[in-house]
Amino acid sequence: MEKRPWTAEDLRFMRDNVNTLDNSELSRILGRTEAAIKNAICWYDMQRDHVVVVYMRANSQSGEKSVHWKGGPTARKIRRRPSCREYTRVYRMAYPERELAHRVIRDSKRKGNIKEQPCEICGTIVNIDAHHSDYSKMLDVRWLCRSCHIHLHQRLEINQSV
Ligand SMILES: [Zn+2]
Ligand SMILES: [Zn+2]
């Protein structure tokens, strides 16, 4: 795995698209590994809005078991880098109710109390997220795929601002 330095152009593209594309899409478009994308986001301190961060966290949780995670020296390096952990820690502190709600869903899924469903909008069964309309109703979720989930949040944000 060769290391390519980040060009200003690549970084500009990252900044412009970090809230609309997920890591795998950025990785495909820029021709870099997902680990390199994560690395750049932490390293260059790019601002992602909370919705996108939720996906990043969901990815990194399942990532422990994924083949990508076990990957080369880059992956191990990121694991040790404090800025990524710091990022997660700050997120958890800023949104304790979200953190709790997501943990409850994770635990319930593991115990088999609830089962992940296909996306209720497009019907896909990959990359499914649990969407909470109300974080205080922790088990009351809608199952949406990542891309439908992003679109839903974009619509919600537009509605809230009018
Ligand atoms: Zn969907
Ligand atoms: Zn949501």
80 occurs within a structural domain: no
For residue 128, give the ligand nearest its CA.
Answer: 1
Q: Is the separation of the CB atoms in 21 and 29 below 8 Å?
A: yes
58 with 111, same domain? no
In the prediction, which pLDDT does 78 show? Answer: 38
* Number of structural domains the chain divides into: 2
| Domain span including residue 57 | 8-70
Q: What is the pLDDT of residue 158?
A: 72
- Which numbered ligand comes closest to the C-alpha of 121? 1
Q: Which residues of the chain have pLDDT under 50?
A: 1, 62-82, 162
Please tell me the distance from the alpha carbon of residue 22 to that of residue 24, in angstroms, as a whole number: 6
pLDDT of 37: 85
The answer to whether the Cα torsion of 99, 100, 102, 106 is positive or negative is positive
> What residues form DSSP beta bridges with 144?
129
Domain co-membership, 66 together with 25: yes
| pLDDT computed for residue 121 by the predictor | 92
Indicate if the alpha-carbon torsion angle 64, 120, 111, 126 is positive or negative. negative
What's the pLDDT at 161?
57
Tokens describing residue 36:
């390199």
The structure's pTM equals 0.46
Distances (CA, A) of 45 to 30, 36, 150: 18, 14, 21
3-class state of residue 76 by DSSP: helix
- Expressed in angstroms and rounded, the spacing between residue 131 Cα and the centre of ligand 2 is 4
Domain co-membership, 66 together with 109: no
**Model confidence over 95-129: pLDDT tens digits?**
788 888 988 999 999 999 999 999 999 999 999 99
Q: Is residue 79 part of a domain?
A: no
Q: Calculate ∠ Cα 38-154-93, nearest 5°.
A: 55
Residue 38 alpha carbon to ligand 2 centre in Å = 21
